[in-house]
Structure 1
Amino acid sequence: MHQDDPSLPGLPGLPVDVSTFIGRRADRASVRSLLTEARLVTLTGVGGVGKTRLALRVAADVRRAFADGVVFVSLAPHNDPEQIPYAIATSLGMQGRSRRPTTTTLVEYLRSRSTLIVLDNCEHVIDAAAVLADTLIRTCPDLRLLATSREPLRIDGEAIHVVSPLTVPPADTTAPLQQYESVMLFVDRAKAAVAGFNLTVANRESVGQIVTKLEGIPLAIELAAGRLRAMSPEEIARNLTERWELLSRGSRTAPDRQRTMAACIEWSFDLCTPIEQEAWGQLAVFADGFELEGASAVCAQVDLPVADVVTALVDKSILVATPVGPTTRFRMLPPIRHRGISHLRVQGELTAVRRRHRDWCVNLSHQVVDMWMSPRQVDGINQLRREMGNINSCLEFCWTEPGEADHGLAMGAELLEFGLADGALRQGRLWFDRLLARSPSADDLRARALRTAGWWAAMQGDVAHASQLIGQGSDIAAEVGGHTEVLLTQAQAFVAMFSGDVDLAHDKFAEAAAGFREYGDRSQEAHTHALAALNECFRRDIPAALAEHEACLALTEPCGESWYRSYSLWIAGLALWASGKPDEGLALQKASLELRRRTRDPLGIGTSVEAMAWMCVDADPERAARLLGGARAIWDRIETSTEALADLHEFHVGCVTTARGRLGDAAYEAAFEQGRTSNQDALVAEALGHEQATVRKARPAARSAQKASPLTPRERQIAELVASGMGNKDIATTLVISKRTAETHVEHILTKLGFNNRNQITAWVAEQLDSAEH
């Protein structure tokens, strides 16, 4: 699970710790030191040794050093090397609306940003990860990569830190066992498993034997601690001793610790009941975690209630449970998941279980479509977002398994609106290209799939290819007739609008709206009215635009729908503002943004924030500049801007000109930068006027920027650290830079400000902050 980090501009933060982090002080210090000098640091070691937990803890330690945030990217769910750039872009919040290669857009986005990317579990896609990492560190000077892998990436500039097992007590030691990290971990996890567990004189020897036999490997220790619900420490130690040699014979060529880990997982597997073993294997097909609903669908043949089996696997440390909002999400660590997949292969059940996983993904897309015109729409959007790893795994299965392509096309065809709301258009088009090539039949399903593929292409600005795809779909739909033909008429109108043929779009939208009314499709009828309202704005027919908005509202408001309504309100708000009714227009814009805050649609939030800037620039140019900066941060991530639609871009240019003219270049740039680096929740609050001081308070370093300063943002940050009493060594540690680099920055600050000593910097910072407060 990710948590929103208020220090980042609308990006997900690091995964939440669900258990205590134990030890690793020396490792943390060593990795932090390596990050000050190397652009790529790779943590290597056997599976289960704790590479990911260490990487996350170090990332949390150094996050203040990276002005543009720390981002976690899990590569474990991705087996296709082509998905690696998408995985990074998605974690950065980049939505792939551009049709350029993902690696190119990653480089452009990261080139001017100070960011740390944690690239987790690289070993199974090591070549693709190495090539991409090499490209990024060569082209993005302020980027750092912290990778975890069972083997190094082996590229220039890589620093390697081998993650060793936790310290274990020597045999027959009389020293306190609590000083050893492995014992600390076992006791901590034992207390979580059995209330009131403590290390005592009676169990001391057994605990020492357990952690020593397990060689200090954290995952193995956690699995053993999970056994305490059914066994005493003495029984665990005795079973390890009696069974270990047999269990560790699996691979004579594997390193000792790798055999230890495999043996521990095998022992955990053997201690499960047959039903638990079966569920372990079936749940392993989930690529990126699951919830009970998904588990029930995939484990349909398990004899016990799935909730009971899942609980048992959590108790045995096979599954990790994490609260996510109102639900609980379960996941397997990669070594455990691999054991489950191996079990399915041996049983000859892997393909059958993956088909059940596929059916669950397809049914989920049906469910979200069914709930779209309801108050549950937002729940459906959020559930699909949580399941994107599984959806990609399902699509990969449909692409690689003969005869499965149509199932993937069926799911993709239904996700048109979700794709627009979530924005993963480039990745979605990749899957359509692959699956359409696997399924050449000309039928209703193909027509609907071509509709979604063409729509997404138009949204990326690839209008020529969009016209080709929609043309192919329309030819098939003309033969099929019925509702499918209406869907393709609507798509023709959409592409015509993007092509600039607003009159053709007007006629096609009217035809489509009538067709959807005939078939009782209120969802697509509402969608059509919202799009037609935008097209009427482009035709400069404000009354017609408002009439289309009212038609959309009449369908969406009574049932509690949010997404169509938010766009229709945004369009109507612009129409009223442009026609000389600013107060009415502003009220609709606020209503739109409130809905978009619920759906967390970045394109929608960006366009609303832009519109708020345009509307407030005359009365409050500084606030408008902040909002423009916030919108720019969103545009950079989703690879678009107001330039995509010329009529909107005119408003943008006018707003910038007015704000610069009123504020002056220096003050405008300072306010713009404040908005660009604010987090998304603060930005939305600023736009709505709920807490107009929120953006100002989002970053202390930005406050001093309100007054024109000769210092760069990095130099201002270092000046504030000097003012806080830090020496150069402390600054270097805090910002993960070398001491010499810190010294150079301080020298530049003194030169630019005309000062002779650090006390003068301290006084200057205090003066800047005092001016900002007043």
Structure 2
Amino acid sequence: MRYGVLGPLVVWTSAGIPVPVPETKVRALLANLLLHNGDPIPVDRLVEDLWAGSPPGRPRNALQAKVSQLRRALGRDEVLHQPAGYRLRLDADALDAERFRDLLRQARATADARARAGLLGAALALWRGAAYLDVCDAPFARAEITRLEELRLSAVEERAEARLELGEHAPVAEELGELVRQHPLRERLRMIQMRALYRTGRQGEALACFQDLRCRLAEELGVAPGPEIAGLHEAILRQEPELAAPVPAVRCRSNLPAPVTALIGRQQAIEEVSCLLVRGSGTRAVSLTGPGGVGKTRLAVAAAHSLSGDSPDGAWLVELAGLSPGLTEEDLAERIIATLGLCDTTTAEPEPVDVVHWLGQAVAERSPLLVLDNCEHVLEPVAALVAALLAAAPGLRVLITSHEALDIPGEVVRPVPPLAVPDQPDPALAARAGAVELFVQRAAAAVPGFALDADNVHAVVTICRRLDGIPLALELLAPRLRVLSPDQLAECLDDRFNLPIGRGRGRPARQQTLRAMIDWSWELLTEAERTVLSRLAVHPDGCVLAGAVAVCSGSGIPAERVLDLLSRLVDRSLVVRDGARFRLLESVAAYCLDRLAESGALTSARALFVRAGLDLAEQADRQLRGAEQHRHLELLDTETVNLRRALDTAVGTGDAAAALHLVNSLAWYWFLRGRLTEARRWFQAALAVPDGPEQATAVARAWLAGVELRTHAAGAGERAGELVAAIADPVRRARLSWFLGSALSGQTPGRELLAAALTGARAAGDSWGEAVALVERAARTEPEAMRADAEAGAALFRELGDRWGQLRATRALAMAAELGGDETLARTRYRAALAVAEELGLWTEAVETLSWLGRDALALGDTAQAEQLYQRARRISVERAYTRGEILAEAGLARTARVHAELSA
């Protein structure tokens, strides 16, 4: 993870993707941990900092809740607990404030003015606003904010001084005006402004600047200007020669192309690359990696332009895209020699020489910057040549663009991600996303007057998302707005590779269409790599290694080779590694599906994908009733998109057996997650496929009946007993007897089914079935019997490690305590149940429990607490589309308002 505190608090993944951190207190917690830069903070200190002397009840529990929320956002391993307190796991360069300090230290140790200005510029580019803006009023942050702001001002002053050494007095004079108005008493800042004004021939304004400072100091502080600025004032009056501007350095030659359009969304990346390669940084080779069209070349050229003044022997672009894959190191050396203008020397040699050795000697005493562009098809000779040249020429720096790194000593690799895509279609927020900014600029160039507004923002965001924020794709499609509206263009992306996108004049032929762009990468792959890449595309939401093996090993590739082939594709930027998952960019996936269809392998690949989804669902279903419940809930959450596609494929291809087994395996997961409408739809779709296996059909019909009863749909409640009787497996029969019986609450058929469920589970030796039947029966008996059943069920669930079961048993015990008149015990148990519900993400259970706690608080006359609980229940219900919960919460809020009015009267 990377963190930004020089402005609003932001978190990015290592690939540059923003990570949202919700809720003000959680963001304050993160800011506090960042402020300590990975050092532990005692729990009591955190409580004091977060609640500023007014901690909530049970402050340690409240803090733990905030820590849990932060871990859900960042990852459990990112926030660590130690005896000394909590700390954040931070890599060396993860925090922008520390990178800023490092760059400032490097700059102060650098004698060369241009290099110093570059380092200071890179440092200041990290700032996005006031430091720790989210917690700027918090006492715990004030000292650090003051320190950082002082360092920022010092960096501005030092950069201005370096630029004066480079002869940039006119722009410095203009830029410092506003800053002096903000800080009118800073003498160093005034001195820099006075020098800049004097060197631009504005001696009167320089003298007036000093007089303004003298008056302000006298009026506000009662002091006179210091001796240093007073001496500068006297020197300006005498027009001393040493105040004259230095002679500007002669600019070096370069073949870098002038940018035709502005580079959008890459300023931070430009500064980072420039900082890495500036002379004196210690880095001499940087590789920009990423898929075709992501903008590696544009970024490299922009960074090279920023470094051109720091390159005494020029910055040179060496384009390798058109070269044959069979070239040698000597061939590449000849191309560099020609680019640098050294070719006449080589032809004058009287005898044949080792060209690579000769090039090394030629640049040994020079300090050029080489940009080697599009190296992926000649990777091995480029790697060998660059290694040889870096060893021969200490002043040489090399910037490489490629699908994968050179993998040579000293190389620093920087992946180039697609441009940022907005999370929501809000015009103000969307306009700041790099992908939207680029698309809108190119669209405005093609269609004068085009602008992002409330009417087109949804379509524009959709286009940017569907094209994965790939700059080339956005630039190619924007001109289509001459003939299509944004909404029509978004619809056309369903058939993106047939979309007429124009020839794209001025670009290489391989970049003139989206298909040609990806064709370039495809042709560089081996047959085995193509097979793996294309078959990965049947996973709409990426896959873990097991999923990749499942769809690839059935195509003639041994299972043990899949990981190696995947690694190669990751290295070539065609596959993106996201934690344990492998993903394809949407454009690449669409291309690969076309390739599968062309080869006739799409049907078989999808069949393997369905089989893999079924295996995963069956394995997870077996673990959802035990100690591994939480982990497998999260696994199925992660695989939801893929499992839906597997179901859709099975239903669409008429594979009744696969469709029925899939829905039966996912039924309990859907129930736990409260997705009953989704479950009903899929059960109906699977049962509609003809010729399904008899027992799988019987099980699916029973599940569907129970789901329909819970969703108030037209179900088969009157035939519930008949439905479960058709199930041969005694364990499934008993569990589905409970599922249907619990849905028929209070009715005679329901009581009969519950009794049959308990008897059947005990006969089959199914502890889980017995536990759930006992807890269900507890809710329908007298308090003493209720407590006995609930305690017996709770003991079985604890033995199994089933947290959902323990939650249900705890709620039953809470109800027993309530009916027995022990409100305090009931309240404690309901709060324990709420903690489990939130831990597992069982939001319907959480809402029901919050509603009870709200009723309890209202009964005690605590309207503030009741409102807080009901509001929390309502927020969760709205977020999760839980209509019943929203109704409960709204009714509770109405009762709370009424009671509050009565108490206030």
- For Structure 1 versus Structure 2, the TM-score category normalised by the shorter chain is 0.5 to 0.7
Partner of 1:256: 503
Instruction: Kindly state the Cα deviation for residue 279 of structure 1 after the two structures are TM-superposed.
Output: 0.5
Instruction: Kindly state the Cα deviation for residue 280 of structure 1 after the two structures are TM-superposed.
Output: 0.2
> What letter is aligned with 1:444?
Q
Residues 299-308 or 379-388, more deviating: 299-308
2:624 to 372, 395, 400: 372
Instruction: Kindly state the Cα deviation for residue 309 of structure 1 after the two structures are TM-superposed.
Output: 2.1
> What letter is aligned with 1:455?
G
1:603 and 1:638 in contact (8 A); partners too = no
1:489 and 1:512 in contact (8 A); partners too = yes
> What letter is aligned with 1:274?
E
Separation in structure 2 between the aligned mates of residue 406 and residue 566 of structure 1, nearest angstrom: 34
Partner of 1:515: 760
Superposition pairs of residues 429-468 of structure 1, within 5 angstroms: 429-439=680-690, 441=692, 443-462=694-713, 464-467=714-717
Separation in structure 1 between the aligned mates of residue 265 and residue 826 of structure 2, nearest angstrom: 63
CA change 1:570–1:274 in 2 (3 A) is same
CA change 1:177–1:607 in 2 (3 A) is same
Separation in structure 1 between the aligned mates of residue 696 and residue 816 of structure 2, nearest angstrom: 37
2:549 to 283, 296, 308: 296
Partner of 1:486: 734
CA change 1:174–1:294 in 2 (3 A) is closer
CA change 1:262–1:585 in 2 (3 A) is same
1:450 and 1:469 in contact (8 A); partners too = no
Superposition pairs of residues 212-231 of structure 1, within 5 angstroms: none
Instruction: Kindly state the Cα deviation for residue 526 of structure 1 after the two structures are TM-superposed.
Output: 2.5
1:321 to 577, 587, 597: 577
2:534 and 2:592 in contact (8 A); partners too = yes
Q: Give the greater-gyration-radius structure (CA).
A: 2
Instruction: Kindly state the Cα deviation for residue 384 of structure 1 after the two structures are TM-superposed.
Output: 0.5
1:419 and 1:425 in contact (8 A); partners too = yes
Partner of 2:869: 627
| 3-state SS in 2 of match to 1:558 | helix
Deviation string, structure 1 residues 256-310 (Cα, Å, up to 9, x no partner) = 2474332221111111222211100111110112122222222224335333222
Larger relative contact order (Cα-Cα within 8 Å, sequence gap ≥ 6): 1
| 3-state SS in 1 of match to 2:818 | helix
CA change 1:229–1:330 in 2 (3 A) is farther
Partner of 1:397: 649
CA change 1:2–1:613 in 2 (3 A) is farther
CA change 1:443–1:579 in 2 (3 A) is same
Gaps in structure 1 of 5+ consecutive residues: 21-56, 58-62, 64-170, 212-220, 240-247, 669-774
Separation in structure 1 between the aligned mates of residue 375 and residue 703 of structure 2, nearest angstrom: 50
Deviation string, structure 1 residues 213-241 (Cα, Å, up to 9, x no partner) = xxxxxxxx9995877865749999999xx
Partner of 2:590: 338
1:524 to 769, 773, 788: 769
1:285 and 1:341 in contact (8 A); partners too = yes
Partner of 1:641: 884
Partner of 1:286: 539
Q: Does 1:423 align with 2:679?
A: no
TM score, norm. by length of structure 1: 0.54
CA change 1:252–1:607 in 2 (3 A) is closer
Deviation string, structure 1 residues 4-42 (Cα, Å, up to 9, x no partner) = 5414999999999xxx9xxxxxxxxxxxxxxxxxxxxxx
Partner of 2:658: 407
2:847 and 2:885 in contact (8 A); partners too = no
Superposition pairs of residues 131-142 of structure 1, within 5 angstroms: none
Instruction: Kindly state the Cα deviation for residue 653 of structure 1 after the two structures are TM-superposed.
Output: 6.4
CA change 1:251–1:329 in 2 (3 A) is closer
Partner of 1:269: 522
CA change 1:548–1:222 in 2 (3 A) is farther
1:601 to 842, 846, 851: 842
2:778 and 2:812 in contact (8 A); partners too = yes
Separation in structure 2 between the aligned mates of residue 13 and residue 520 of structure 1, nearest angstrom: 38
Instruction: Kindly state the Cα deviation for residue 483 of structure 1 after the two structures are TM-superposed.
Output: 4.0
Aligned residues: CA RMSD: 4.6
Separation in structure 1 between the aligned mates of residue 402 and residue 589 of structure 2, nearest angstrom: 27
Instruction: Kindly state the Cα deviation for residue 407 of structure 1 after the two structures are TM-superposed.
Output: 0.8
2:856 to 615, 622, 635: 615
1:450 and 1:472 in contact (8 A); partners too = no
TM score, norm. by length of structure 2: 0.46
Separation in structure 2 between the aligned mates of residue 284 and residue 512 of structure 1, nearest angstrom: 44
Instruction: Kindly state the Cα deviation for residue 388 of structure 1 after the two structures are TM-superposed.
Output: 0.8
Gaps in structure 2 of 5+ consecutive residues: 1-16, 27-68, 76-93, 95-127, 129-133, 135-253, 274-285, 291-299, 323-370, 387-399, 404-475, 477-496, 505-510
Deviation string, structure 1 residues 119-164 (Cα, Å, up to 9, x no partner) = xxxxxxxxxxxxxxxxxxxxxxxxxxxxxxxxxxxxxxxxxxxxxx
> What letter is aligned with 2:652?
T
2:289 and 2:402 in contact (8 A); partners too = no
2:321 and 2:373 in contact (8 A); partners too = no
Separation in structure 1 between the aligned mates of residue 264 and residue 738 of structure 2, nearest angstrom: 63
CA change 1:267–1:665 in 2 (3 A) is farther
Separation in structure 1 between the aligned mates of residue 668 and residue 373 of structure 2, nearest angstrom: 43
| 3-state SS in 1 of match to 2:573 | coil
> What letter is aligned with 1:372?
L
Separation in structure 2 between the aligned mates of residue 652 and residue 182 of structure 1, nearest angstrom: 44
Separation in structure 1 between the aligned mates of residue 791 and residue 681 of structure 2, nearest angstrom: 37
Separation in structure 1 between the aligned mates of residue 318 and residue 605 of structure 2, nearest angstrom: 39
Q: Does 1:559 align with 2:800?
A: yes
1:533 and 1:571 in contact (8 A); partners too = yes
| 3-state SS in 2 of match to 1:321 | strand
> What letter is aligned with 2:565?
V
> What letter is aligned with 2:864?
E
